[in-house]
Structure 1
């Protein structure tokens, strides 16, 4: 779900095989939601760790007493995201609201608290690592789950970052793509599979160039066996899901990373306009791209999942390491 001022962007996402609608009625503004349920604060650095809101047990104060809620940043099948300011120190944050009836999976946090799976996964990956958005606090209300997330003051989701430039130079794309690979490897090391990697779910800090992976609403635990339920964005799903109805986590991630890299350096999705991918598809790439970049995109978008690189293979790829082959 992109952090983009007033934009309703992205593509339909699927959770367990069901497309979730993007437009949802908003019965209450977040500023009117009283904090009556459980509250938790995730450990780790926030915009200002020393002034982070501490765990509050049953919070009684109203949300507007702690945050000044601003404009809508994005809306998706799993909730709405608002810009906000933390009143205690003026730190910019994002507040994500998810209707409880859209939370399909719950699990337990390390302290035994029951929480939506998205929060449990974020708790595993967002502490002490700059490439994943930090979960600062979460609140369980009667009808909604509210997450307070870090928000760099000057930031833009990667989709709009690319669109503003038509396409990215290989040098800029390499710097951002490496960071995404690091974030994916970090999540994998914690046993978490994001499942919805796309430009809208990568936030770029315009002041530092730091890329951050956001929106774990489609996330799952990493497993060695094949997944037989799809969650994510259909236009980023690998051909084995479309044709066979199953996929492996790493291979599907590599496929989506190939689409991501294509969007970075070409400015568009390689399989746009809903065109079905055939087993004998020929990927046409601009001649201005280096042979190393073209090779990497084609490798990631290999039709057979066993032909794709592993995540570790990517770190040693000549293009990633900026090595020009003769």
Structure 2
């Protein structure tokens, strides 16, 4: 979920750029991922229920929520579970929806950390984070689905579907017959969720109190489908509202990641046909966003969750932007991750988000195919060839890869070129390389 802060890029800092590329913001995790050394979430902390628990033993979500009174209507509907991830602008926690026992993901976005470019003026909801605005607008099989949203004085709560297999060698969900995509049909998962819910509920108490927290009306925010037709963003502060104590930090432990980075680490490498299946979904998703005038601007393996059947979904739209049509827009600030930044961005030039996105897709394809990044440093990305793959690929595959990683944006493939490329469509190129 990491993005580089909103700041003008200075080419003079190229020597130290590899150290700026961060992955999971796990405590103590290394920051240089250019060599693809495995990064896994920290081990589950051992936390006692005593009030004297050291703060450094708690996850980010536990530290933030242990003394925070959550939005009442959210608590009436959901029970918090594990931490799924954290970053500079917020953190993500699993939750169980009480009405149907469905497990979801909840992103807590710090109100005071949303950057200037990260806000959107929604015609129905007013000024809200761009991520919520975009996810409400889009609906695609390979984009994580918006379910609901709330707010209080400290956070926006973005409730989304939970997708993906936790990629750990010891995880029983890696069994092909035990697909994590069907949590509600899995007795083991249901037992785990129920135990979590019961443990949390046993620690909650209802008490009449005056609510001092801004809230979102459940009547106006209730949804019946992932497309979610919201009509208004209202605030309530009734004297009769009830509040519930947040769950104790011992429940908010870190869960193994479900993202494509961890999946690649687990598999070491994919066959070309597997890589094609994964990449085709991502490309079709990006093309759909492009047709909506939306650019994600932080395409990378960590922002793609994947399940045991290799079905992927794009997440983390915190850096997304709506491109004005038909004139387009040139950008002079960088949003994203250095290892995926295009040459024009690295040189400090003005750039078009659409062509920079195709470069990021090229980096992603190389990573999926070969299990490592194609460039050792930004200087090589600007002027050098990518690292020669140790695995042979078809001529069609290499043609697409080279086209997407063209140094000049004018010579680079467009997203339409990528979607219709023979490597993805199965049409022979007869001699192209």
Q: TM-score range by the shorter chain?
A: 0.7 to 0.9
Question: Quick one: structure 1 residues 214 and 25, their matched pair in 2 at CA, closer, same or farther if it must change by over 3 Å?
Answer: closer
- The alpha-carbon deviation at position 109 of structure 1 amounts to 2.4
- The alpha-carbon deviation at position 204 of structure 1 amounts to 1.3
Higher mean C-alpha displacement, 114-123 vs 91-100: 114-123
* 2:364 aligned partner: 260
Distance (whole Å) between structure 1 residues aligned to residue 411 and residue 322 of structure 2: 24
Question: Quick one: structure 1 residues 304 and 277, their matched pair in 2 at CA, closer, same or farther if it must change by over 3 Å?
Answer: same
- The alpha-carbon deviation at position 108 of structure 1 amounts to 2.5
Distance (whole Å) between structure 2 residues aligned to residue 130 and residue 122 of structure 1: 13
Whether contact under 8 Å (2:21, 2:339) holds in the other structure is: no
* 1:67 aligned partner: 78
Q: What are the superposed Cα offsets for residues 136-180 of structure 1, whole Å, 9 maximum, x if unpaired?
A: 111111011111110137262111111111111111111111111
Question: Quick one: structure 1 residues 248 and 194, their matched pair in 2 at CA, closer, same or farther if it must change by over 3 Å?
Answer: same
* 2:101 aligned partner: 90
Q: What are the superposed Cα offsets for residues 10-62 of structure 1, whole Å, 9 maximum, x if unpaired?
A: xx521322889946965432795321xxxxxxxxxxxxxxxxxxxxxxxx43x
* Higher strand content, 1 or 2: 1
The alignment partner of 1:80 has SS state of strand
Is 1:17 the equivalent of 2:23?
no
Whether contact under 8 Å (2:346, 2:382) holds in the other structure is: no
The alignment partner of 1:92 has SS state of strand
Whether contact under 8 Å (2:375, 2:381) holds in the other structure is: no
The alignment partner of 1:180 has SS state of helix
* 2:380 aligned partner: 277
TM-score (norm 2): 0.62
Distance (whole Å) between structure 2 residues aligned to residue 193 and residue 318 of structure 1: 24
Q: What is the aligned length?
A: 287
Whether contact under 8 Å (1:157, 1:204) holds in the other structure is: yes
Q: How does 1:117-196 map to 2 (within 5 A)?
A: 117-125=130-138, 127=139, 129-152=140-163, 154=180, 156-196=258-298
Whether contact under 8 Å (1:13, 1:234) holds in the other structure is: no
Distance (whole Å) between structure 1 residues aligned to residue 86 and residue 64 of structure 2: 15
Question: Quick one: structure 1 residues 186 and 242, their matched pair in 2 at CA, closer, same or farther if it must change by over 3 Å?
Answer: same
Question: Quick one: structure 1 residues 25 and 176, their matched pair in 2 at CA, closer, same or farther if it must change by over 3 Å?
Answer: closer
Higher mean C-alpha displacement, 19-28 vs 103-112: 19-28
| Equivalent residue in structure 2 for 1:28, among 46, 49, 64 | 64
- The alpha-carbon deviation at position 287 of structure 1 amounts to 4.8
Q: How does 1:282-321 map to 2 (within 5 A)?
A: 282-283=385-386, 284-321=388-425
Question: Quick one: structure 1 residues 312 and 264, their matched pair in 2 at CA, closer, same or farther if it must change by over 3 Å?
Answer: same
Distance (whole Å) between structure 1 residues aligned to residue 261 and residue 280 of structure 2: 17
The alignment partner of 1:164 has SS state of helix
Whether contact under 8 Å (2:21, 2:338) holds in the other structure is: no
- The alpha-carbon deviation at position 120 of structure 1 amounts to 0.9
Whether contact under 8 Å (2:346, 2:378) holds in the other structure is: no
Q: CA RMSD in A?
A: 2.4
The alignment partner of 1:184 has SS state of helix
Is 1:116 the equivalent of 2:111?
no
Question: Quick one: structure 1 residues 242 and 290, their matched pair in 2 at CA, closer, same or farther if it must change by over 3 Å?
Answer: same
Whether contact under 8 Å (1:66, 1:88) holds in the other structure is: yes
* 1:4 aligned partner: none
* 1:212 aligned partner: 313
The alignment partner of 2:422 has SS state of coil
Distance (whole Å) between structure 1 residues aligned to residue 345 and residue 153 of structure 2: 36
* Higher helix content, 1 or 2: 2
* 1:241 aligned partner: 345
TM-score (norm 1): 0.81
The alignment partner of 1:276 has SS state of helix
The alignment partner of 1:15 has SS state of coil
Question: Quick one: structure 1 residues 310 and 170, their matched pair in 2 at CA, closer, same or farther if it must change by over 3 Å?
Answer: same
Question: Quick one: structure 1 residues 67 and 102, their matched pair in 2 at CA, closer, same or farther if it must change by over 3 Å?
Answer: same
The alignment partner of 1:146 has SS state of strand
The answer for unaligned runs of 5 or more in structure 2 is: 9-19, 28-58, 165-179, 182-257
Whether contact under 8 Å (1:20, 1:77) holds in the other structure is: no
* 2:120 aligned partner: 107
* 1:49 aligned partner: none
- The alpha-carbon deviation at position 79 of structure 1 amounts to 1.2
